[in-house]
Amino acid sequence: MLRSPQTSRRLLPPRAAPLLALLPLLAPAGCGGGGGGNGNGNPQPPVQAPPVSASAFVPTTDFTTGSYSMVNLRDGSVRVNLPAAPGIVESDNTAVYFNQRVYVINRFGFDSVTVLALADLTTAIKQFSTGNGSNPQDMAFVRDDLAYVSLLGSNDLLVVDPTAVAGAEITDRIDLAPLLDPGDTDGLIEASAMALAGRYLFVALQNLDNFAVTRPGTLAVIDTTDNTLVDTDPAVDGLQGIGLAGSNPVALSYVPEIGQLLVSTSGAFGVSDGGVERVDPYTLSGGGFLLTGDELGGGDFGDVAAVNGGKAYLVSGGFDANDVKIFDLQLDPASGAVSAANPRNIGLSLPFIPGLALDDGGRLLIPDRTLTAPGLRLFDTVADTEITAAPIDVGLPPNTPVVVPPEPPRVFVPTTDFTTGSYSTVNLADGSAANNLPSSPGIAESDIAAVHHHDRVYLINRLGFDNISILDTDDLTTATGQFSTGNGSNPQDMAFVSDRQAYISLLGENSLLLVDPRAPAGSEITGRIDLTPLLDPADADGLVEAASLARVGQYLFVALQNLDNFVAARPGILAVVDTAVDSLVDVDTATPGIQGIPLVGSNPVALHWAPDLGRLLVSQAGNFGVADGGVESVNPFQWSSDGLLIGEQALGGGDVGDLVSLGGRKVYVVAGGFETNDVRVFDLTPDPASGALIASAPRGLELELPFVPGLALDSAGRLIVPDRTLTSPGLRMIETATDTELTTGPIDVGLPPMTPVVLYH
């Protein structure tokens, strides 16, 4: 936001709300989809009518009356002015989304939070007060029962449990006054925007003095494991936050693909003294301006949103006239440095733009508060062109839109008894299952895995089948396509840059396939990247054994097992592929040849990108039956291994398998042998001085299961564990807050389950 809410309420005249919103007119061309491109010179061709199934919750206001509407981003239909009763939403409002609920923050003079369920947005589940005069600004969630509310009118940061009984929602207060400048005459620290990165909550402190900008801003850091302020510089007396280069921070965004927080600082209004700066959330240190106000063309700055770590969009201008600027982001993994360049306008001229949002198709949602025809504009971030021919009418002038999924998530479950293959789905709202869905043979085979991207599921039929089946999430019974990866190729994993740019790893060849899954039949494979330069000359079987894939921003990481006739004879390697040019990256130019990232351990069996940690977690089994593996941490921003976090011996012996991380706080990893597995969990504690992660002693969930092929986490933080017990196979659900099982018995999914995949479409 470009002005504090105390002054913003009266700056736009009221407008009568229409009774019915008209369906928007969408431009027929340029509707790029899939979050494609990477902002670094390799945009993908736009996809007509991108299959995006999320919706946008749009708070609206003319600063006299408040309301909200819902836009279906797939078909453009709108439900306008939804609240069924007054008081649900007020005239100074914003909103956040978490796990099937929308939280409307009623700000200056209203001081409350309204809780809505996606299933019925007309009626409030509850509403709780944040305190008279508190002026709540933002809300950040760790889980359903742990959230934080920043206040502009108080130096307290509220700790809340929105699920608590009425009147008991505020469970604690964190005093931010230790970060108040003694010379600040209004006595308020002005806490505004917030962002979570791992266990830490970052709170933007504007440090205004009776609305005047007199000093730089600060980021307060909260350890969410114990709700305490973190002292970011113990060498200095008192509690320290992260000092910013600019003043008046108005927006805060974590960009996991580059491992940085972007902070938009507006400075003094009407003066070109702000800009966009970066903060390292792992070392708790400021990095200074990426782009200054002068470099951005002057004006005041508002919200900022980044696409895949490749480029960012920034509200720019004054209160009466705004545009949106684009600038490119670049990571140099050789040094870990992040830079920004090439700011330019997207060509809009609008009134005050309160905020931006990005949907799951990589489209930018821009609120247009033009009094004569307000509404929501959609912008294609691939082609950088507007999609909407006219703003989508949402009733009153829109505030910051919030993208929400349309329904409770499902779990897609490949199943197999290693003779027959199938798949099922489980509705996570009620636990109901739809079993054995394929309508014809050949869609799912007996050696099977799956990945999900946007509106499609990709079934990977592995050893002896060597193909990919493509399913539409609207109809999972029938394949919309299938293509071969080559006889004997044994495909293992699939990773996406966009709907039109994907990669497939092969265990039976030294090629990484480049594919366009939406190309005409027979044309899906568009190229190959030769991995032979990373083959050890002494490897007798001649294969690098490419397995798991993970993409972080511009770079794709490929786990090479380096087995020698199934023996772990040497450490594993992570190959690095630059997806902008589809070529191998040499991570060590001082050594002859092309080098990957050398791992400490051997036989990497799972690769997991943990955005909350800013790390790749690599599960390495070593030699089967020998406790010589473990979980290793790799820095994807500096192309280097941090070493083993924890070894197989500490994990109870045996071999490790798949792993997932939860909020930068916990890691769950399969451990044991092929016949008997448990799931172990260990806690992570970051060391801000070095950026290193420290693992606690692990503990078991005491599941005692056969081979567990993989794990998944849903949006509610529930761990989904496949149970392949022959007598009663199914899915088990674990509550990760307490590490206790939610299911009284496995949810039956037909054949024994393989690795589950959570669908949000």
pLDDT for 45 equals 28
Does the pLDDT at position 42 exceed 50?
A: no
Specify the pLDDT at position 53.
Answer: 59
Closest CA to 463 of 415, 495, 417, 508: 508
Q: How many CB atoms lie within 10 A of CB 635?
A: 18
Structural domains of the chain, with CATH: 5-404 (2.130.10.10)
pLDDT the model gives residue 444: 98
Is the Cα torsion angle 142, 118, 351, 26 positive or negative in sign? Answer: positive
Nearest CA-CA partner of 358 in 291, 391, 313, 409: 313
DSSP 275-325: EEEEEETTTTEEEEEEEETTTTTSSEEEEEEEETTTEEEEEEE-SS-EEEE
pLDDT at 150 over 90: yes
State the DSSP string of 738-753.
Answer: TTEE--SSPBP-SSPB
Around Cβ 236, how many Cβ atoms within 10 Å? 9
> Is pLDDT at 316 greater than 90 in this prediction?
yes
Residue 41 pLDDT > 60? no
* 409, 450, 640, 733 from 429: Cα distances, Å: 8, 22, 41, 12
Mapped onto helix, strand or coil, the DSSP state of residue 329 is: strand
| Distance between CA atoms of residues 540 and 63, nearest Å | 73
d(CA 384, CA 187): 44
Paired residues of 364 in beta bridges: 358, 379
Tell me the sheet residues that pair with 503.
Answer: 495, 514
Residue 49 has pLDDT above 60, yes or no: no
Please say whether the beta carbons of 612 and 259 come within 8 A: no
Pairing, β 200-205 against β 156-160: unpaired
Q: How many CB atoms lie within 10 A of CB 237?
A: 7
Tell me what pLDDT residue 405 has.
Answer: 81
CA distance 514 to 503: 5
Q: Tens digits of per-residue pLDDT, 62-114?
A: 999 999 999 999 888 999 999 999 999 999 999 999 999 999 999 999 999 99
Q: Which two tokens stand for residue 95?
A: 């909103």
Beta pairing partners, 198: none
If we measure between CA atoms, which residue out of 640, 637, 639 comes closest to residue 330? 637
pLDDT tens figures, 514-549: 999 999 999 999 999 999 999 999 999 999 999 999
Report which of 366, 312, 316 is spatially closest to residue 339, judged by C-alpha positions: 312
CA distance 115 to 573: 48
Residue 692: pLDDT band with limits 50, 70, 90 = confident
Q: Residue 761: its pLDDT value, please?
A: 66
Q: What average pLDDT does the segment 702-708 reach? A: 93
Task: List the strands of the sheet with 475-484, edge to edge.
Answer: 448-453, 456-461, 467-472, 475-484
What would the 3-class secondary structure string for 341-357 be? EEEEECCCCECCCCCCE
Q: How many CB atoms lie within 10 A of CB 151?
A: 26
Q: Enter the tokens of residue 227.
A: 């709700």
Q: Predicted confidence band at 14 (pLDDT cuts at 50, 70, 90)?
A: very low
Considering only CA atoms, which of 548, 516, 584 is closest in space to residue 34? 516
At which residue do the structure tokens 């490419």 appear? 546
pTM: 0.90
Q: What are phi and psi of 609, to 5 degrees?
A: -85, 120
Strand partners, 393: none
Q: Is 6 helix (H, G, I), strand (E, B) or coil?
A: helix
Q: What is the pLDDT of residues 608-628, one digit of tens each?
A: 999 999 999 999 999 988 889
Adjacent-strand bridge partners of 386: 379
Half-sphere exposure of 476 (CA within 13 A, CB side): 25
The total number of residues shown for the chain amounts to 761
User: Exposure of 430 by Cβ count < 10 A (0-12 exposed, 13-18 middle, 19+ buried)?
Assistant: exposed
Least Cα distance to 543 among 569, 512, 564, 514 occurs for 564
How many Cβ atoms from other residues are within 10 Å of residue 246's Cβ?
A: 24
- Burial of 740: CB neighbours in 10 Å, binned 0-12, 13-18, 19+: exposed
Residue 718 is predicted with a pLDDT of: 94
φ/ψ (deg, to 5) at 8: -75, -20
Decide: 754 and 414 in contact? Cβ < 8 Å: yes
pLDDT at 96: 98
d(CA 101, CA 123): 12
The owner of tokens 């592995």 is 462
**Strands 212-213 and 208-209, sheet pairing:** antiparallel
The helix (run of H) or strand (run of E) holding residue 5 is: helix 5-8
Which helix (H) or strand (E) segment holds residue 584: the answer is strand 583-584
- Per-residue pLDDT tens over the stretch 403-433: 998 677 899 999 999 999 999 999 998 999 9
Exposed e or buried b per residue across 654-666, where buried means at least 16 C-beta atoms within 10 angstroms of its C-beta: bbbbbbbbbbbbb
Rounded to 10 degrees, what is the CA torsion of 317, 320, 321, 325? 40
Residue 8 binned pLDDT confidence (cut-offs 50, 70, 90): very low
Torsion of CA 509, 710, 642, 40, to 10 degrees: 60
Look up residue 206 and give its two tokens: 């504007």
What average pLDDT does the chain have? 90
Both structure tokens of 205: 């402190």
Check the CA dihedral 124-127-132-133 and report its sign. negative
**What's the pLDDT score for residue 715?**
86
Strand, helix or coil for residue 177: helix
**Which residue type does 549 have?**
L
Distance in angstroms (rounded) separating the CA atoms of residues 15 and 371: 7
Average the pLDDT over each of 70-79, 201-210, 365-374 and give the range with the smallest value: 70-79
Phi–psi pair at 443, nearest 5 degrees: -70, -50
Phi, psi of 61 (to 5 degrees): -165, 145
Report the pLDDT averaged over residues 236-244. Answer: 96
* Rounded Cα–Cα distance for residues 68 and 84 (Å): 11
Q: Tokens for 341?
A: 């360049």
Mean pLDDT across 213-229: 96
Residue 163, Ramachandran bin (φ over 0: left; ψ between -120 and 50: alpha; else beta): alpha
Which residue has tokens 């836009």? 71
